[in-house]
Structure 1
Amino acid sequence: MRMFRWAGLALALLCGIARASMGLSELPATAEDGPVTVYYPSSDTSQPVRRGRFLLDVAAEGRAVPGNGRLVVISHGSGGSPWVHADLARDLVEAGFIVAMPQHRADNYVDGSDPGPDSWTIRPAEVSRAIDAMGRDPRFAPMLRLDKVGVFGMSAGGHTALSLAGGRWSPARFMRHCDEHIAEDFQSCVGLITRLTGGPLDGLKKWVALRVIHHRFDDDTPRIAADPRIAAAVAGVPAAADFDMNSLARPAVPLGLVTAEQDRWLIPRFHADRVLAVCQTCEHIADLPAGGHGALLSPHPPGLDGLVGDLLNDPPVFDRADVTVVNRKIAAFFERHLLP
C-alpha cells in the first residue's frame, strides 16, 4: 500500500506541474546587484501582462507551487532584458524548473554602459549571487535543492555559461583576437558602436577600435569562475574567441551548445565552432542553419532597426517555429543532467 501511496503522490505532483501556469516575480535589487526576475510554476491563472515591448501570458506574483526542485539561471546577452527568454523560461517551468534571471550590471536594457570583457568578468559572480538570493527567498527557497543548478546563456550570456562550465579566458586574449581578426569579426570587437561599410572610413574605424581595445584590455590574467552548485550549462551563440580552448576540451560539467550559422555578430568560426571543434564531451543540442544572432531571442523584440536590427532580426528564410523545438531540447538537456 505504501508503494501505491507514493505513486499517487508522484502522479499528483506531475499533474500539478502540467496544469501549472507560469508565475512571474522579481527579487529586488541590492546595493551590489540588480533585480532578479523569477519565472516559476504557479497555481494562479495566467493573464496578459505588459512588460516593456512584450505582452506575456503569466501569473504575475502568482502563488508558487512545487516543481521538480531544481533551479536554472539564465544569463542574458549584452543589453538584454528578462523578457527575451520568456518562451524558454516557459518550457523550463512546464518541466518543473524555477528560472532566475539576474540583471547584469552595466550591460542590460536599461544600462548598457559597459559591455564586453568588463561585464564578462563579473557575470559569473552575479549568477552565483542570484543563486544565493533564491536560497534566501522565503517563497522559493523551500521548493529548491541548490546542490545542482543549471545555467543557460546567450551571446555574452553564453560566455558566462562557458566560464561557469570551467572555461578560462582573459581580456588580453580578446585583444589578440581583435588584432588578428578585426575586419572579419568586427562586431564582436566593437559591439554596436559602429560598423564597417566598405567605405573610406573603414580603415580609421579599425585603427581607432584597436587603439581603444589595447588601452582597455591588455590584462593577460586568466579569468576563472567556479561555483560547485553549477551542474550543467548551455551556451547559445556564445562569445568565445577569448577562451583558452584547452580549458574547454573537457568541461567541468555537462555542456551543451546551440549554434546559428547566419550569426553576423559573433561569427561562428571564431566563436561557437571553435568550442565544438575542441570539446570532447559537449552536446551540440541544436544548430539553426538559417538563424542569425537573435534567433534564440523568444519572444523576439519588435521594431528593431539600424545596426541592432541588422544583427538581431531574423534572416528572411528563418522559421521561428524552429526556436520552439530548440527551447524544448534545452529543457530536456537540463532534465537529463539535473534530475533527479
Structure 2
Amino acid sequence: MAIVAILLALMPGAPARAAGVGFQKVDIPNGAEPPLAAGIWYPTDAPATPHALGGATQTVAADAPIAGNHLPLVVLSHGGGWYGAHYDTALALARAGFVAAAVSHAGDTFDDQSHVLELWRRPAQLNRLVDYMLDDWRGHERLDADRIGAFGFSNGGFTVLVAAGGIPDLSKIAPFCEVHPDHDLCDALRHASVDVHFGAHVPAGVWVHDARIKAMVIAAPSFGFAFGRAGLGRVRAAVQLWSAADDRHQPHPWYDEPVRDDLPRAADYRLVANAGHYDFLPPCDTRLARLRPQICDSAPGFDRAAFHQRFNAEVVRSFEAMLR
C-alpha cells in the first residue's frame, strides 16, 4: 500500500504535499510602469514561523527552498484589496502541493484607485504574473506549465473571466445604471462624477487573454451582466463559481447568475446561504474590523472562519480535479 501511495503522489493529478509552506514577495517588471508587487506561496520542507502579512499573520518559511517538481500553478486576482487579500486560500493551495501566486493590481488596490475603471489593465497584469512565474521565478523549472489555474474574487473574478477568454461589453453599464441607479456600482460612479457611458469607448481588442489558464474558481464576479453569451463564448476553462446568497454589494441576479447561465460549459455553481459579498475575504483581525466594518462584519449567525475552512478545502479539491 505504501508503494501505491507514493506512485499516486507522483502522478500529475495529485500534487505532492510537503511539510510546510514557503513564501516570497517579488517585484515583477511591468514595462514602463513601476514593478508589480506579488506574493508567492509554495511547498517547502523548511520549518515555518509566524510572519506579518499586512494586518494578518501567516505561518510560513520566508524565502525557503522549494519542495517538489511538476507543481501546478494557481494565480490569484483580488477585488479591491492587494496580493495578500486571499492569503488563507493561497496557504491552503500551497499546503496541498500547489504554487499560488497573487499580484497587486496596480491602480486598483485598497490604497491606490488611480486606474480603478481601466479594467483592461487587470487581465494584462495577470498575464504578466503567469509569464513571470513560468519564465523568471527562481522555481520556474519546478512548475507544470500544462496545469495552470486562476482564482478571482469580485473584480478579480471579472479579471479571471477575461483572462480565460471572456470579452465584456462595458457599454452595457450605462443602460444598466439607468435601470438600477441605486446599485453600488452606479452610485459609486455618480459620486465619483464618472460618466456611465465611459465603457462605450473601450474597444474589444484591448482585453488580454491567456490560453494557458485551464481552470478557474471565481467568487462573486463583478460586471457579470456585461458579458452575455457571446462575450463568454470563448471561455473553455473549467469553472467553479461561488455566489453569496445575501450579496448586497452586487445584488442578484445581475452578477453571478449571468455568468453561470451564459458560460458555454456548465459551471460547478455553489450558493452560500446567509453569506454577504465580503464573506469571501478571510476573517478580519481586530484592527481591520474596527477600521473597515463594511468588509469585516458578517450577518448574525454566519461564521466566516468556519466557512473559510470549508471554502478553502473545496477550492483545493476543485483545482485538484480540474487540473489533473
TM-score of the superposed pair, with normalisation by structure 1: 0.83
**Counterpart contact for 2:165–2:211, Cα < 8 Å:** no
CA deviation string 1:266-308 (max 9, x = no partner): 1131100222233352323422111111111124364456995
Distance (whole Å) between structure 1 residues aligned to residue 262 and residue 106 of structure 2: 31
Query: Partner residue of 2:322?
Result: 337
Amino acid at match of 2:199: F
Amino acid at match of 2:161: L
Query: Partner residue of 1:150?
Result: 149
Query: Partner residue of 1:41?
Result: 43
Query: Partner residue of 1:54?
Result: 56
CA deviation string 1:147-169 (max 9, x = no partner): 33111100000001111232211
Whether 1:189 and 2:191 are equivalent positions in the alignment is no
Amino acid at match of 1:178: C
The 3 A distance-change label for structure 1 pair 10 and 280 is: closer
The 3 A distance-change label for structure 1 pair 306 and 91 is: closer
- The DSSP-based 3-state class of the residue aligned with 2:29 is coil
Whether 1:164 and 2:163 are equivalent positions in the alignment is yes
Distance (whole Å) between structure 2 residues aligned to residue 68 and residue 13 of structure 1: 9
Amino acid at match of 1:331: V
Range with bigger deviation, 15-24 or 261-270: 15-24
The 3 A distance-change label for structure 1 pair 218 and 178 is: same
Query: Partner residue of 1:274?
Result: 258
Whether 1:134 and 2:133 are equivalent positions in the alignment is yes
CA deviation string 1:169-207 (max 9, x = no partner): 133222332222122x2x12344x8xxxxxxxxxxxx5x
Distance (whole Å) between structure 1 residues aligned to residue 232 and residue 289 of structure 2: 36
Amino acid at match of 2:239: L
Query: Partner residue of 2:88?
Result: 87
Query: Partner residue of 2:271?
Result: 287
TM-superposed CA distance for 1:56, in Å, is 0.9
Amino acid at match of 1:182: P
- The DSSP-based 3-state class of the residue aligned with 2:246 is coil
Distance (whole Å) between structure 2 residues aligned to residue 40 and residue 17 of structure 1: 11
**Counterpart contact for 1:260–1:268, Cα < 8 Å:** no
Identity %: 27
Equivalent residue in structure 1 for 2:239, among 255, 259, 275: 255
- The DSSP-based 3-state class of the residue aligned with 1:49 is strand
Amino acid at match of 1:231: K
Distance (whole Å) between structure 2 residues aligned to residue 31 and residue 18 of structure 1: 33
TM-superposed CA distance for 1:136, in Å, is 2.6
Query: For structure 2, which runs of at least 5 residues remain unmatched after alignment?
Result: none
Matches within 5 A, 1:105-120: 105-116=106-117, 118=118, 120=119
Distance (whole Å) between structure 1 residues aligned to residue 54 and residue 5 of structure 2: 43
Equivalent residue in structure 1 for 2:203, among 206, 221, 230: 221
Amino acid at match of 1:189: C
Higher strand share: 2
Distance (whole Å) between structure 2 residues aligned to residue 98 and residue 281 of structure 1: 26
Range with bigger deviation, 102-111 or 16-25: 16-25
TM-superposed CA distance for 1:13, in Å, is 9.3
Distance (whole Å) between structure 1 residues aligned to residue 284 and residue 124 of structure 2: 28
TM-superposed CA distance for 1:232, in Å, is 0.9
Amino acid at match of 2:54: G
Matches within 5 A, 1:315-330: 315-320=299-304, 321-330=306-315
The 3 A distance-change label for structure 1 pair 145 and 13 is: closer
CA deviation string 1:190-225 (max 9, x = no partner): 44x8xxxxxxxxxxxx5x66x622363332533543
The 3 A distance-change label for structure 1 pair 77 and 67 is: farther
Distance (whole Å) between structure 2 residues aligned to residue 287 and residue 264 of structure 1: 14
Distance (whole Å) between structure 1 residues aligned to residue 15 and residue 318 of structure 2: 22
The 3 A distance-change label for structure 1 pair 337 and 13 is: closer
The 3 A distance-change label for structure 1 pair 238 and 122 is: same
Query: For structure 1, which runs of at least 5 residues remain unmatched after alignment?
Result: 194-205
Distance (whole Å) between structure 1 residues aligned to residue 3 and residue 175 of structure 2: 62
Range with bigger deviation, 247-256 or 312-321: 247-256
Query: Partner residue of 1:241?
Result: 225
TM-superposed CA distance for 1:19, in Å, is 4.1
Distance (whole Å) between structure 2 residues aligned to residue 60 and residue 245 of structure 1: 44
**Counterpart contact for 2:30–2:128, Cα < 8 Å:** no
Amino acid at match of 2:316: A
- The DSSP-based 3-state class of the residue aligned with 1:273 is helix
Query: Partner residue of 1:196?
Result: none
